[in-house]
Amino acid sequence: MAKPLHADGLGNKGLSVVSFAQNLGLSVRYVKNLCRNGQIFGARLHSKTHQWWIYPPAKLLCDPRKSRENTSTPMRSISLDAKQA
């Protein structure tokens, strides 16, 4: 059985922005900007805490590791079930 990504005790409910950023190797600020701009499918702003949470099936609508010149990159699926090395 794969180790769950959710070290913060959330089970399969969702990931915090910090956990999601660490799993992808991105900065927290960059992931928050992607959430604000609607470029992470599955990202929701919590109504009471005003913090972003990312729920499965999460997809990046852009590829952050590509240059910004190529805007026609396909969506990339992100698995929240197993940690990607």
- pLDDT averaged over the chain? 74
- How far, in Å, CA of 54 to CA of 31, rounded? 10
**pLDDT surpasses 60 at 85:** no
Residue-wise pLDDT tens digits, 36-52: 999 999 999 998 989 99
The percentage of residues in the chain with a pLDDT greater than 90, rounded to a whole number, is 33
The whole-model pTM stands at 0.62
Say whether pLDDT at 69 is over 60.
Answer: no
Interatomic CA distance for residues 10 and 6, integer angstroms? 6
Helix, strand or coil for residue 57?
A: strand
Task: Print the SS3 string covering 6-49.
Answer: CCCCCCCCCEEHHHHHHHHCCCHHHHHHHHHCCCEEEEEECCCC
Question: Which tokens go with 6?
Answer: 């959710």
Q: Which domains does the chain have, with CATH numbers?
A: 15-64 (1.10.10)
